[in-house]
Amino acid sequence: MAIFHAPDNTPLFYRTYTPSSTPHNPSTPSPSPSHQPLTLVFLHGWPMSSRMFDQLIVPLVETHRFPVIAPDRRGFGNSHWSTPATGEVTFDTFVQDAVALLEHALQQTNPGGPFVFVAASMGCIESVLVRAASAVLKEACKGLVWLGPNMPWSLSCEECPGAPSKELWDGLIEGFRGPGSKDFIHAAIPGVFRTDLGNNVGEHTLGFFEGLVAQADPVALERTVVLICQKEMAGELRAWAAAAAEEEKEKVPILILHGDSDGGMPLETSAAVVHEILPWSQLKVYEKAGHAVATLLSTASAERNTKDFTGLGQIRTLYIGRGHDDLGCLTSAGKWTTNESLCGVFAAEQISDVTFHLFAPTTFGNAGPIAGREVLRYGQYGVMATDAEDSPPSLTEDALNIHFYSGSEKGKWVWLGWKPLGDDVHE
């Protein structure tokens, strides 16, 4: 355990662990090597602290032999929020803190050695910015694991209306501000774990995480919400993708883990979008998991992987709201219909944005192929071919190019979604 003083002299707390020479139940019978050559750097989410990773850190250090560095963000855990010399805290302040602290800590524990970020929620944003801000850390960073990333957009906007609404964030701030703030935290914590879906999180475990939130500096807690909402990451992620298209070494391994029941940061507007922008990343989705997906890693199973977007299926039109109501499907000719008997059967192939430059601004405002959905929003391309003999194109003809986009139908925003049918389906 150590204290590092930030550039403005604010005390920042961090923990470092090296594997024991005589661990309990080691993963290998031999104590050699005494530890892995790779350090794991944990960046916690808002509004908790590095202690949110306790259940991961202990086995990773003692059983799997990884050195660990786990800092508390400014204003959270045991780190102070500010000093008289601080001035206005911005997201750049968080990045500068992390760069200075990690360069120092890594030099002390593993000079010149490689590390991997393990980041949750807003920590994922920090990992991207910290890697880009320091040539030393960028060179040493050999991978990133993102748990429930709240990017590219933490706040609903024209480009991503399905992201969390301003009303949601306002409600959180008012809850934390009110005289019953501790009761608000107590009531909100189970929803982070989606205990309503049967996830078994005990009363004392919930109480532990409730205590982490209550430990946060109250001013830091609210002001950090404002900074999160102001920080859009689409530009940074697209720039990274563009750099990776030019230089192979930019394709640092990325593993994204997200819950399909994350009510605060929906999969479709966060991890799934990040995976599309950074096509070399891997995305694993945990069923019935909420935003605190990190706490379920030992028991949950990744049931879906968006890289498996192959085989035969239907293209469904889904309401962009949380319920994702089914609004119909596309025919084999690419026309929208609510007549299920006319739904086409398509063969799908995932295509990266390196080839088609997804989300390009030039796609905005163009006419869409479906009547009533005239605004092309995202420019996500899928190449489709139908197996229906009586509608173009046939299996022997060129594939049908269909834009994946959101527009309006009956006053609703919609997504186009894929419904797999299996390879043995014939129409």
Picking from 265, 282, 305, the residue at the C-terminal end of a domain is: 305
User: Rounded to the nearest 10 degrees, what angle do helices 122-133 and 91-109 cross at?
Assistant: 70
340 within some domain: yes
364-414 tens-digit pLDDT: 333 334 333 333 333 333 333 334 444 333 434 444 444 444 333 334 445
What is the domain extent for residue 390? Answer: 311-420
Picking from 287, 305, 323, the residue at the C-terminal end of a domain is: 305
25 and 141 co-located in one domain: yes
410 and 354 co-located in one domain: yes
pLDDT reading at 303 higher than 60 = no
The answer to whether residues 92 and 98 touch, using CB atoms and an 8 Å cutoff, is no
255-273 tens-digit pLDDT: 999 988 888 898 888 999 9
Buried b (16+ CB within 10 A) or exposed e, 175-199: ebeeeebeebbeebbbebbbeeeeb
| pLDDT on residue 390 | 40
249 and 364 co-located in one domain: no
pLDDT reading at 153 higher than 80 = yes
Please give, one letter per residue, the 3-state secondary structure of the chain: CEEEECCCCCEEEEEEECCCCCCCCCCCCCCCCCCCCCEEEEECCCCCCHHHHHHHHHHHHHCCCCCEEEECCCCCCCCCCCCCCCCCCCHHHHHHHHHHHHHHHHHHHCCCCCEEEEEECHHHHHHHHHHHHCHHHHHHEEEEEEECCCCCCCCCCCCCCCCCCHHHHHHHHHHHHCCCHHHHHHHHHHHHHCHHHCCCCCHHHHHHHHHHHHHCCHHHHHHHHHHHHHCCCHHHHHHHHHHHHHCHHHCCCEEEEEECCCCCCCHHHCHHHHHHHCCCCEEEEECCCCCCHHHHCCCCCEEEECCCCCEEEEEEEEECCCCCCEEEEECCCCCEECCHHHCCCEEEECCCHHHHCCCCHHHCCCCCCCCCCCCCCCCEEEEEEECCCCCCCCCCCCCEEEEECCCEECCEEEEEEEEECCCCCCC
The answer to whether the pTM exceeds 0.85 is no
Per-residue pLDDT band at 304 (split at 50, 70, 90)? very low
326 within some domain: yes
Per-residue pLDDT band at 137 (split at 50, 70, 90)? very high
186 within some domain: yes
Of residues 75 and 24, the one with the higher pLDDT is: 75
Picking from 272, 305, 338, the residue at the C-terminal end of a domain is: 305
146 and 201 co-located in one domain: yes
Q: How far apart are CA 259 and CA 17, in angstroms?
A: 29
284 and 394 co-located in one domain: no
pLDDT reading at 30 higher than 80 = no
For residue 79, the domain's CATH number is: 3.40.50.1820
Mean pLDDT of 226-246: 94
86 and 187 co-located in one domain: yes
290 and 415 co-located in one domain: no
174 within some domain: yes
148 and 177 co-located in one domain: yes
399 and 416 co-located in one domain: yes
413 within some domain: yes
Q: Which residues contact 207 (CB under 8 A, 6 or more apart)?
A: none
Please state which of the ranges 73-82, 106-115, 134-143, 146-155 shows the lowest mean pLDDT: 106-115
282-302 tens-digit pLDDT: 998 888 888 888 666 653 333
425 within some domain: no
280 within some domain: yes
Of residues 332 and 383, the one with the higher pLDDT is: 332
| pLDDT on residue 360 | 34
| pLDDT on residue 143 | 94
| pLDDT on residue 400 | 42
294 and 348 co-located in one domain: no
91 and 165 co-located in one domain: yes
193-221 tens-digit pLDDT: 888 888 888 899 999 999 999 999 999 99
* Arithmetic mean of pLDDT over the chain: 78
Please state which of the ranges 68-82, 95-109, 123-137, 163-177 shows the lowest mean pLDDT: 163-177
Q: How far apart are CA 284 and CA 297, in angstroms?
A: 11
pLDDT reading at 245 higher than 50 = yes
Percent of residues, the chain, with pLDDT higher than 90: 45
Of residues 377 and 119, the one with the higher pLDDT is: 119
136 and 26 co-located in one domain: yes
Q: How far apart are CA 150 and CA 253, in angstroms?
A: 19
Of residues 303 and 327, the one with the higher pLDDT is: 327
426 within some domain: no
- Domains held by the chain: number: 2
